[in-house]
Each structure stands twice: as structure tokens, then as C-alpha cells.
């Protein structure tokens, strides 16, 4: 039985980078990871402006962004975004060994 792909597709989140304002950041996909070895600016494909326009019109322009600002954007791209637990979840982690 095939998996439900909708449960594992990349999600997006609105973030605020002080120097840039609001951006929409998408989690990287396997395709992004494969492209990373050949394209140092692969992560720009994971970022759009809040109004839906591209983050950069030319990905190579990412090389001209200050390193601290680029690092902040890249940190958001690579951030782990855990899924919300089910409504009956207590929030407690299960015990893995006897006390």
C-alpha cells in the first residue's frame, strides 16, 4: 500500500528576518538536497517573499547578500519544523526504559 505523500511533503512557514522582513520558507525537499552539491545557492528556491514573488530574481545574487543575513535565511530553511501532535497527545514523551 503506497504511503500518503501529503503527510511527508515539504511545508512552508512565514518567518521574519529583521533585515528582510517577512518571508515564506519551505522545507527543503530531496530534490533540493541533491541539487545542493552543484549549486551553492540551492536554498533560494525554498524562499519567497510574503506576497508570493521570488526571494531573488537571480539565485546567483545570493552571493552578494551579507553572510549574517544569508545565514539567518538558511537557518530558517534548514530549521526542523515538527508536526503538531494528535489532539489526544498529552505532550509527555514515552518512557523508554524501566525506572
Confidence of residue 83 (pLDDT cuts 50, 70, 90): low
Instruction: Quote the CA–CA distance of 30 and 91 in Å, as a whole number.
Output: 30
Place of cell 506576497: 51
Cell of 30: 530531496
Q: What is the pLDDT of residue 81?
A: 72
pLDDT of residue 84: 53
pLDDT at residue 88 greater than cutoff 60: no
- For the record, the C-alpha cell of 34 comes out as 541533491
> Considering the entire predicted model, what is its pTM?
0.76
pLDDT tens profile 9-68: 999 999 999 999 999 999 999 999 999 999 999 999 999 999 999 999 999 999 999 999
Q: For residue 90, is pLDDT > 70? A: no
Sign of the dihedral through C-alpha 87, 10, 72, 57 = negative
Amino acid at each position: 500500500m503506497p504511503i500518503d505523500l501529503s503527510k511527508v511533503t515539504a511545508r512552508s512557514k512565514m518567518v521574519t528576518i529583521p533585515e528582510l522582513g517577512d518571508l515564506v520558507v519551505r522545507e527543503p525537499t530531496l530534490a533540493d538536497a541533491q541539487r545542493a552539491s552543484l549549486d551553492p545557492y540551492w536554498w533560494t528556491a525554498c524562499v519567497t517573499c510574503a506576497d508570493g514573488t521570488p526571494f531573488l530574481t537571480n539565485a546567483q545574487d545570493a552571493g552578494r547578500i551579507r553572510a549574517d543575513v544569508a545565514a539567518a535565511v538558511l537557518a530558517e530553511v534548514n530549521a526542523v519544523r515538527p508536526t503538531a501532535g494528535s489532539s489526544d497527545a498529552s505532550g509527555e514523551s514515552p518512557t523508554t526504559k524501566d525506572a
